[in-house]
Structure 1
């Protein structure tokens, strides 16, 4: 069985269905609400499992109610908890405002998922050759340690996929540069690609030439190799 590690973080998505946004300072109504265990990492892990592999998400979660719900979800869905560790503190959540046409607006309260220590990788990623990294996780308090782990993984021949995420513009430029340098594949959408291109200079063009990129445009996904 093929295994991969996902540097993503776990939290709870709290959905609120609304008809439309009220004017600023005015009132509106919530039509319905529901919750899911969320984060890009869960979507990746479930997809990888459906394809016959096993994915190990890297994340701290709190010992609070949300953390307990997340651990139960992982167990119920037979998803790996090898690199998920509970500790004292609050688990993050994301408030998702869902409009009738499916458009979503996100507001996140971060928590334990934005902590990191090499100790969480109890076996040092032994036997794992593939890694996926979300841009959200590079906003982590321990981002220097995360990049260090990934650089070591890359040196050992590991294959890395980097999903920049809508907050790619908030990643520290030096961290983003190091991440791009070790990534074998980068999967931005068109707006994320614009944010990445903003920090290109002559040195960074060399990095982008080496990376296979997939740009998701509207409902189509087209492969693109950057050759500038």
Structure 2
């Protein structure tokens, strides 16, 4: 029995090793056969998705900067999407609902963008702190505001992803726990609502992985 609403997100461990995080590594066993088996419909569908994402990221990054850069963001999108979908299955731990996972993805990316930008394009990075057309009297305030908004970017990326995944799972858990106390008619209504929520969560899983990858791409394009 759950002691609180968030206990379903607590990692279970065995032999001092958290078994819940193993769900993050399942893709290593599933994805490699795609590269040596005869291409299936799923393989061709995934290739089409990758090509579409590559074209979109290429536009955001600029054609002269995107050689190989889009692979990083496509891999990021694939990892988050895979883990988001795994969390929709019963009794599988959702690793992207934890700040440990999301912050470890967002923080290194942001740090690498900042280090690269300040080392190679210092003047460009300083110019970003004061938007064009800002009155001279407001410039000190704009520098503070832009600096704060830049520093909190990894936090907003991580919280956006984990909060969206937790919110849907919590709402489904809350509704599911009321099932034993309902009549047969209300249980039928509850099942319909749960199916609709599951459909919404499927859409959220795709949208949030796309938003995370797109925002990371936009942040990287600003440092060039």
Shared fold per TM-score greater than 0.5: no
Report the TM-score, using the length of structure 2 for normalisation: 0.21
**Larger strand percent:** 1
Larger radius of gyration: 2
**Larger helix percent:** 2
Report the TM-score, using the length of structure 1 for normalisation: 0.21
